[in-house]
Amino acid sequence: MTGRKFVFLDVDGTLMDAVENQRRVWHAWAARHGLDGETVYAVALRTRPVETFAAVAPGVDPAACLALLHELEDEDVRTGTYAAFAGAAELLKELPADRWALVTSNYEHRVRGRFARTGLPMPGLVVDAASVSEGKPSPVPYLLAAEKLGADPADCLVIEDAPSGVRAGRAAGMTVWTVNTASPAEGSHRHFTTLAEAAPEILAWV
Protein backbone atom coordinates (compact mmCIF):
# COMPACT_ATOMS: atom_id res chain seq x y z
CA MET A 1 0.00 0.00 0.00
CA THR A 2 3.03 2.28 0.01
CA GLY A 3 2.32 5.56 -1.72
CA ARG A 4 -1.41 5.51 -1.07
CA LYS A 5 -2.57 8.20 1.32
CA PHE A 6 -5.49 7.99 3.75
CA VAL A 7 -7.50 10.61 5.65
CA PHE A 8 -9.14 10.05 9.04
CA LEU A 9 -11.56 12.71 10.26
CA ASP A 10 -13.00 13.46 13.66
CA VAL A 11 -16.70 14.43 13.60
CA ASP A 12 -17.85 16.80 16.36
CA GLY A 13 -16.02 20.10 16.09
CA THR A 14 -14.25 19.01 12.91
CA LEU A 15 -16.95 18.23 10.36
CA MET A 16 -20.02 19.22 12.32
CA ASP A 17 -20.80 22.05 14.71
CA ALA A 18 -22.46 20.35 17.66
CA VAL A 19 -21.51 22.72 20.48
CA GLU A 20 -25.03 24.01 21.11
CA ASN A 21 -26.42 20.48 20.90
CA GLN A 22 -23.98 19.29 23.55
CA ARG A 23 -24.85 22.27 25.70
CA ARG A 24 -28.58 21.53 25.41
CA VAL A 25 -28.09 17.85 26.22
CA TRP A 26 -26.01 18.54 29.31
CA HIS A 27 -28.41 21.25 30.50
CA ALA A 28 -31.31 18.80 30.14
CA TRP A 29 -29.32 16.13 31.99
CA ALA A 30 -28.50 18.59 34.78
CA ALA A 31 -32.15 19.67 35.10
CA ARG A 32 -33.22 16.04 35.60
CA HIS A 33 -30.82 15.87 38.56
CA GLY A 34 -31.67 19.28 40.01
CA LEU A 35 -28.26 20.70 39.07
CA ASP A 36 -27.15 23.95 37.45
CA GLY A 37 -26.76 23.42 33.70
CA GLU A 38 -23.83 25.76 33.12
CA THR A 39 -21.89 24.33 36.04
CA VAL A 40 -22.35 20.78 34.78
CA TYR A 41 -21.56 21.75 31.19
CA ALA A 42 -18.32 23.45 32.26
CA VAL A 43 -17.19 20.18 33.85
CA ALA A 44 -18.37 18.09 30.89
CA LEU A 45 -16.29 20.15 28.49
CA ARG A 46 -13.04 19.01 30.07
CA THR A 47 -13.80 15.48 31.30
CA ARG A 48 -15.25 12.22 30.04
CA PRO A 49 -18.90 11.56 31.01
CA VAL A 50 -18.04 9.09 33.78
CA GLU A 51 -15.71 11.67 35.31
CA THR A 52 -18.37 14.36 34.97
CA PHE A 53 -20.91 12.21 36.81
CA ALA A 54 -18.45 11.57 39.63
CA ALA A 55 -17.72 15.28 39.96
CA VAL A 56 -21.25 16.72 39.81
CA ALA A 57 -23.45 13.84 41.02
CA PRO A 58 -21.24 11.58 43.17
CA GLY A 59 -24.18 9.98 44.95
CA VAL A 60 -25.98 8.87 41.79
CA ASP A 61 -25.47 5.53 40.04
CA PRO A 62 -23.09 6.26 37.14
CA ALA A 63 -24.80 3.63 34.97
CA ALA A 64 -28.12 5.45 35.40
CA CYS A 65 -26.39 8.76 34.67
CA LEU A 66 -24.96 7.38 31.45
CA ALA A 67 -28.26 5.80 30.38
CA LEU A 68 -30.01 9.15 30.76
CA LEU A 69 -27.25 10.94 28.84
CA HIS A 70 -27.53 8.44 25.98
CA GLU A 71 -31.32 8.84 25.95
CA LEU A 72 -31.02 12.62 25.71
CA GLU A 73 -28.33 12.42 23.02
CA ASP A 74 -30.41 10.06 20.91
CA GLU A 75 -33.40 12.38 21.23
CA ASP A 76 -31.24 15.32 20.18
CA VAL A 77 -30.15 13.46 17.03
CA ARG A 78 -33.83 13.07 16.11
CA THR A 79 -35.02 16.56 16.98
CA GLY A 80 -32.04 18.91 17.36
CA THR A 81 -30.72 21.37 14.80
CA TYR A 82 -27.37 20.48 13.26
CA ALA A 83 -25.03 22.21 10.84
CA ALA A 84 -22.01 20.91 8.97
CA PHE A 85 -19.05 23.26 8.76
CA ALA A 86 -18.57 25.08 5.47
CA GLY A 87 -16.64 22.90 3.04
CA ALA A 88 -17.43 19.60 4.78
CA ALA A 89 -19.83 18.18 2.19
CA GLU A 90 -17.63 19.15 -0.74
CA LEU A 91 -14.52 17.70 0.91
CA LEU A 92 -16.09 14.35 1.76
CA LYS A 93 -17.56 13.96 -1.72
CA GLU A 94 -14.14 14.53 -3.31
CA LEU A 95 -12.14 12.17 -1.10
CA PRO A 96 -11.40 8.76 -2.67
CA ALA A 97 -14.11 6.46 -1.33
CA ASP A 98 -11.76 3.74 -0.12
CA ARG A 99 -9.23 6.04 1.53
CA TRP A 100 -11.05 7.92 4.25
CA ALA A 101 -12.82 7.09 7.48
CA LEU A 102 -14.49 8.74 10.44
CA VAL A 103 -12.83 8.26 13.83
CA THR A 104 -15.15 9.55 16.54
CA SER A 105 -15.70 9.34 20.29
CA ASN A 106 -19.44 9.35 19.55
CA TYR A 107 -21.53 6.35 18.45
CA GLU A 108 -22.05 5.37 14.83
CA HIS A 109 -25.85 5.45 14.93
CA ARG A 110 -25.75 9.07 16.10
CA VAL A 111 -23.21 10.01 13.46
CA ARG A 112 -25.36 8.41 10.78
CA GLY A 113 -28.42 10.28 12.05
CA ARG A 114 -26.61 13.61 12.00
CA PHE A 115 -25.08 13.00 8.59
CA ALA A 116 -28.46 12.02 7.15
CA ARG A 117 -29.96 15.27 8.43
CA THR A 118 -27.15 17.46 7.11
CA GLY A 119 -26.57 15.69 3.79
CA LEU A 120 -22.99 14.64 4.52
CA PRO A 121 -21.85 11.43 2.77
CA MET A 122 -20.87 8.48 4.95
CA PRO A 123 -17.64 6.57 4.39
CA GLY A 124 -17.32 2.80 4.34
CA LEU A 125 -15.61 2.81 7.74
CA VAL A 126 -16.56 4.43 11.03
CA VAL A 127 -14.48 3.78 14.13
CA ASP A 128 -16.73 4.85 17.02
CA ALA A 129 -16.80 4.59 20.80
CA ALA A 130 -18.15 1.05 20.61
CA SER A 131 -15.32 -0.09 18.31
CA VAL A 132 -12.49 0.26 20.80
CA SER A 133 -11.69 -0.41 24.44
CA GLU A 134 -9.65 2.79 24.67
CA GLY A 135 -10.77 6.13 23.27
CA LYS A 136 -8.82 9.26 22.43
CA PRO A 137 -6.21 10.37 23.51
CA SER A 138 -5.20 6.72 23.13
CA PRO A 139 -3.90 5.96 19.61
CA VAL A 140 -6.06 2.83 19.47
CA PRO A 141 -8.97 4.33 17.44
CA TYR A 142 -6.67 5.69 14.74
CA LEU A 143 -4.55 2.55 14.63
CA LEU A 144 -7.71 0.46 14.21
CA ALA A 145 -8.83 2.65 11.30
CA ALA A 146 -5.44 2.21 9.63
CA GLU A 147 -5.54 -1.56 10.18
CA LYS A 148 -9.01 -1.90 8.69
CA LEU A 149 -8.05 0.09 5.58
CA GLY A 150 -4.69 -1.64 5.21
CA ALA A 151 -2.85 1.64 5.68
CA ASP A 152 0.60 2.39 7.03
CA PRO A 153 0.17 4.97 9.84
CA ALA A 154 2.91 7.04 8.19
CA ASP A 155 0.61 7.44 5.16
CA CYS A 156 -2.36 8.66 7.22
CA LEU A 157 -3.53 12.24 7.77
CA VAL A 158 -5.68 12.97 10.83
CA ILE A 159 -8.01 16.00 10.88
CA GLU A 160 -8.95 17.06 14.41
CA ASP A 161 -10.06 20.05 16.47
CA ALA A 162 -9.40 18.86 20.04
CA PRO A 163 -6.17 18.28 21.97
CA SER A 164 -7.13 14.70 22.86
CA GLY A 165 -7.57 13.87 19.19
CA VAL A 166 -4.25 15.47 18.30
CA ARG A 167 -2.51 13.39 20.95
CA ALA A 168 -4.21 10.25 19.65
CA GLY A 169 -3.14 10.88 16.06
CA ARG A 170 0.42 11.75 17.01
CA ALA A 171 0.72 8.68 19.24
CA ALA A 172 -0.47 6.57 16.29
CA GLY A 173 2.46 7.89 14.23
CA MET A 174 0.26 9.88 11.86
CA THR A 175 0.34 13.40 10.45
CA VAL A 176 -2.16 15.60 12.32
CA TRP A 177 -3.75 18.85 11.14
CA THR A 178 -6.14 20.92 13.25
CA VAL A 179 -9.12 22.97 12.11
CA ASN A 180 -11.87 25.26 13.41
CA THR A 181 -9.98 26.78 16.34
CA ALA A 182 -8.25 30.12 16.72
CA SER A 183 -4.92 28.49 17.52
CA PRO A 184 -3.53 24.97 17.01
CA ALA A 185 -3.56 22.35 19.71
CA GLU A 186 -0.13 21.34 20.93
CA GLY A 187 1.40 18.76 18.62
CA SER A 188 -0.49 19.72 15.47
CA HIS A 189 1.68 19.60 12.35
CA ARG A 190 -0.43 22.22 10.52
CA HIS A 191 -3.33 24.41 11.56
CA PHE A 192 -6.24 26.00 9.69
CA THR A 193 -8.74 28.34 11.31
CA THR A 194 -11.58 26.79 9.26
CA LEU A 195 -12.27 23.43 7.65
CA ALA A 196 -13.02 25.22 4.36
CA GLU A 197 -9.49 26.64 4.38
CA ALA A 198 -8.03 23.20 5.01
CA ALA A 199 -10.13 21.29 2.43
CA PRO A 200 -8.01 22.01 -0.68
CA GLU A 201 -4.84 21.09 1.22
CA ILE A 202 -6.41 17.84 2.45
CA LEU A 203 -7.39 16.88 -1.08
CA ALA A 204 -3.93 17.76 -2.35
CA TRP A 205 -2.36 15.64 0.41
CA VAL A 206 -4.39 12.54 -0.34
Reply yes or no on whether 161 is catalytic: no
3-state SS assignment for residue 82: coil
* Helices 62-79, 108-118: inter-axial angle, 10-degree rounding: 20
Q: Has 74 been annotated as catalytic?
A: no
CA 60 to centroid of chain Cα atoms: 28
Strands lying side by side in the sheet with 190-192: 126-127, 100-103, 6-9, 156-160, 175-179, 190-192
Selecting among 12, 76, 128, 161, the annotated active-site residue is 12
Contacts 24+ apart (CB under 8 A), 59-64: 60/33
Q: Which of 10, 76, 128, 161 is catalytic?
A: 10
Active site residues: 10, 12
